[in-house]
Amino acid sequence: MVTKISNQLSSKQELVDLRKELLKNKKTDRPVISLCNGTACRPYGCLRLADAFKQELAKQGLENKVELRITGCHGLCEKGPIVIIDPGGIFYQQLTVEDVPEILSETVTKGNIIDRLLHTDPATGRKVVHRNEIPFYKKQKRNILGNNVEINFASIEDYISIGGYAALAKVLLEMTPEQIIDEVKRSGLRGRGGAGFPTGAKWETCRHAPGDIKYVIVNADEGDPGAYANEGLLSGNPHSVLEGLIIGAYAIGANQGYVYVRNEYPLALANVTIALDQAERFGLLGDNILGSGFDFNVRINRGGGAFVCGESTALMASLEGKVGEPRAKYVHTVEKGLWNRPSDLNNVETWANIPLIINEGADWYRTLGTEGSKGTKIFSLVGKINNTGLVEVPMGITLREIIYDIGGGIRGGKKFKAVQTGGPSGGCLPESLLDLPVDFDELSKAGSMMGSGGMIVMDETTCMVDIAKYFLTFLEEESCGKCLPCREGIKRMRQVFDEITEGRGSEKDIEFLEQLSATLVDSSLCGLGQTAPNPVLTTIRYFRDEYEAHIKEKRCPAGVCKALTHYYIIEEKCPGCGICVKECPQEAITFMGKKKPVVMDESKCIKCGVCCDVCKMGAIGKR
């Protein structure tokens, strides 16, 4: 810690000097243990690991010789807790407290590799020593998330030492607001929250909207099931989001900003609170930032758990202390938003892209991505995949590359069935579209969307009708209930799905779902209702045969829908061991004597599938 910096920075030169001093004091020859303390690693005990490292460093007398860096999410959440040891970038995974002394005495002190802690490539079965050689990371382009491993997530000094707030100093003292907006426009950056609206154009409209008081807002109300891309970024590198926000505020002419973060993200909330406090102490927020004459303050607001509050107008209503209900956007929020004043709201990831664009320039930024979508995109890669985690990829990469090269393929050697992008209102894309380049336009052409970055992989054991029902059930609960088509329409759709999945579907149902979907798309008030039919429409479009099997043959091909699934004993395989008899909670299976096949009474069966799970002989059939 540098003592001098208790004073506020009052000029760009002071920031430059501070950075020099931080770098000088940073003993670059010291080994660094970069330990992931992200949200996904926490249930695996990474907090205990941090304590263990501290104690063991003291015990082995290494406190001043080794830097222990507590960081945000490293990405490969599947294999947490994760540690990277520099120099060398040695990658250890799935650590326990017992591994700590050995890591220090062997790897850190002597440079020996501990084989059992290494990552195994699921594709080849080979052990990998260095982080950069792990296939999960190789194809990624971690422009935004990459810094997570370089900094302690609660240290502004770390952020400044890797060049943080340099972009802010540059814009405040060398660029006019118009130049900044022009740079962002030229970069081709599009909003990462889902709709993909060009960020520069949004800023420009907000800047030119009449009114003296304007607001900038960080939307950190990521509520999609399975998505935590914004969480990983905001908790791992809160200053990058804050720096982007301050730059945006200066470009737009706003003096007040808000971070709307969902309360279910305690780590992100804690870290952004720390970051805000640090930035204020360093004079990077407040009055006359770096001597530029620009004043800017930020407040944090916690979301109360409503999914719909991720919608910009509902979020603003919530910020105003009202019920989080959307309103019509015929007059855009950049003209009349929060308290009817021009307000620019961007997603966490959008804001974090800004310092990069300013530092590296729009021309550099444009080199990555596709014609209509520039830069990288962070996804939460989850579901039936080997390497679940947070990935950041260049726009235009194919779904196949993400799922097979980065994701390591489908878990348990099963067959891929579908991938859902864009959260509950996204679409489910089939195998035939695996070579689709991932960008805003291609995804929406295929009936899905980018969304805020959820990517859920499904295998052959997933029933697509059941999945559509799952997302409808989620949206039915999360609809704010204000407008009729969303409130009543999603409910009616879900009811049809209840019928289909319980074997009472009729052939008219698909047509009805399509008609109702069209009305939701056309006449719902906000994006929630307008996009709610996406999972329904895409599953009908790409997996119609599954719907027909449910409706016409009263059969669930994946064996998920209980009412349509029947278990039976395959007599020739059954050795009569009786394990299924013991496990069946319904006493639906009767023991008939050793070496005689058991007998099942289907009328008692509740289709829990436990018999199937416990039978080692594969003698329980499912149809």
Partner 1 sequence: MVTFKIDGREFKAEEGQTVLQVARENGIDIPTLCHHEAIEPYGACRLCIVEVSKGRRARIVTSCLYPVAEGLDVKTNSPRVISNRTMLVELLLARCSKNKVINELASQMGINQSIIRPEYIEVEDCMVCGLCVRTCEQVVGVSAISLVNRGITKEPASPFLEPARDCIGCGSCFYICPTGAIKMEDKGDTRYLYNWKAEFKLKKCKVCGNFWAPEKQLDYIRKKWNLPEDFFDICPTCK
User: Which one of 6-14, 487-495, 578-586, 597-605 is the stretch in contact with partner 1 (CB under 8 A)?
Assistant: 487-495
527 is an interface residue for partner 1 by CB under 8 A: no
Burial of residue 132 (CB within 10 Å: 0-12, 13-18, 19+) is: exposed
Question: 228: which 2 tokens?
Answer: 């935590």
What letter does residue 600 receive in the DSSP assignment? E
11 is an interface residue for partner 1 by CB under 8 A: no
522 is an interface residue for partner 1 by CB under 8 A: yes
What count of residues does the chain have? 623
Q: Which is nearer to partner 1, 421 or 531 (CB)?
A: 531
| Nearest distance in Å: CB 474, partner 1 | 11
480 is an interface residue for partner 1 by CB under 8 A: yes
533 is an interface residue for partner 1 by CB under 8 A: no
Q: Quick check: helix, strand or coil at residue 214? A: coil
User: Which one of 42-50, 231-239, 326-334, 443-451 is the stretch in contact with partner 1 (CB under 8 A)?
Assistant: 326-334
> Cβ(482)–Cβ(543) under 8 Å?
no
477 is an interface residue for partner 1 by CB under 8 A: yes
Q: Tell me which of 276, 476, 567, 615 binds partner 1, using CB under 8 A.
A: 476
323 is an interface residue for partner 1 by CB under 8 A: yes
How far is the C-alpha of 419 from the C-alpha of 428, rounded, in Å? 5
Query: If binding means CB under 8 A, how many residues of this protein chain bind partner 1?
Result: 33
Q: Tell me which of 485, 527, 533, 557 binds partner 1, using CB under 8 A.
A: 485
Q: Which is nearer to partner 1, 306 or 510 (CB)?
A: 306
Q: Tell me which of 2, 331, 570, 617 binds partner 1, using CB under 8 A.
A: 331
Q: Quick check: helix, strand or coil at residue 532? A: coil
Question: 505: which 2 tokens?
Answer: 């579907």
As a three-state string, the secondary structure of 353-400 is: HHHHHHHHCHHHHHCCECCCCECEEEEEEEECECCCEEEEEECCCEHH
Count the alpha carbons within 13 Å of 548 in the hemisphere toward its beta carbon: 5
Question: 328: which 2 tokens?
Answer: 């019509």
Q: Tell me which of 525, 549, 551, 589 binds partner 1, using CB under 8 A.
A: 525
336 is an interface residue for partner 1 by CB under 8 A: no
| Nearest distance in Å: CB 352, partner 1 | 31
How far is the C-alpha of 550 from the C-alpha of 500, rounded, in Å? 6
| Nearest distance in Å: CB 550, partner 1 | 16
How far is the C-alpha of 291 from the C-alpha of 311, rounded, in Å? 36
Residue that is written with structure tokens 């416990």 in the block: 614
How far is the C-alpha of 552 from the C-alpha of 557, rounded, in Å? 12
Q: By C-alpha distance, which of 257, 234, 280, 298 is closest to 73?
A: 234
Q: Which helix (H) or strand (E) holds 456?
A: strand 454-459
516 is an interface residue for partner 1 by CB under 8 A: yes
Q: Which is nearer to partner 1, 12 or 469 (CB)?
A: 469
Q: Tell me which of 481, 544, 545, 618 binds partner 1, using CB under 8 A.
A: 481
Q: By C-alpha distance, which of 31, 15, 106 is closest to 63?
A: 31
487 is an interface residue for partner 1 by CB under 8 A: yes
595 is an interface residue for partner 1 by CB under 8 A: no
617 is an interface residue for partner 1 by CB under 8 A: no
- Signed CA dihedral, 218, 223, 228, 232: sign only: positive
Which residues ranging from 293 to 322 are in contact with partner 1 (CB under 8 A)?
A: 306, 308
478 is an interface residue for partner 1 by CB under 8 A: yes
Q: Tell me which of 23, 58, 123, 484 binds partner 1, using CB under 8 A.
A: 484
Complete DSSP assignment for 69-121: EEES--S-GGG-S-EEEETTTEEE-S--GGGHHHIIIIIIHH----GGGSEE-
Q: Which is nearer to partner 1, 520 or 611 (CB)?
A: 520
479 is an interface residue for partner 1 by CB under 8 A: yes
| Nearest distance in Å: CB 478, partner 1 | 7
Q: Which is nearer to partner 1, 99 or 478 (CB)?
A: 478
> Cβ(376)–Cβ(143) under 8 Å?
yes
Q: Which is nearer to partner 1, 525 or 620 (CB)?
A: 525
| Nearest distance in Å: CB 373, partner 1 | 21
Q: Which is nearer to partner 1, 327 or 554 (CB)?
A: 327
Residue 310: phi and psi, rounded to 5, are -75, -15
| Nearest distance in Å: CB 74, partner 1 | 36
How far is the C-alpha of 594 from the C-alpha of 578, rounded, in Å? 8
507 is an interface residue for partner 1 by CB under 8 A: no
User: Which one of 216-224, 349-357, 508-516, 588-596 is the stretch in contact with partner 1 (CB under 8 A)?
Assistant: 508-516
Q: Tell me which of 328, 413, 572, 616 binds partner 1, using CB under 8 A.
A: 328
1 is an interface residue for partner 1 by CB under 8 A: no
Q: Tell me which of 185, 491, 555, 622 binds partner 1, using CB under 8 A.
A: 491
User: Which one of 3-11, 50-58, 348-356, 520-528 is the stretch in contact with partner 1 (CB under 8 A)?
Assistant: 520-528
Complete DSSP assignment for 458-512: EETT--HHHHHHHHHHHHHHH--S-SHHHHHHHHHHHHHHHHHHTT---TTHHHH
Q: Which is nearer to partner 1, 23 or 323 (CB)?
A: 323
Question: How many Cβ atoms sit within 10 Å of the Cβ of residue 291?
Answer: 16
Q: Which is nearer to partner 1, 316 or 483 (CB)?
A: 483
Largest interatomic CA distance in the chain: 89
Q: Which is nearer to partner 1, 101 or 372 (CB)?
A: 372
513 is an interface residue for partner 1 by CB under 8 A: no
330 is an interface residue for partner 1 by CB under 8 A: yes
Point out which residues bind partner 1 (CB under 8 A): 306, 308, 323, 327-328, 330-331, 476-485, 487-489, 491-492, 495, 499, 512, 515-516, 518-519, 522-525
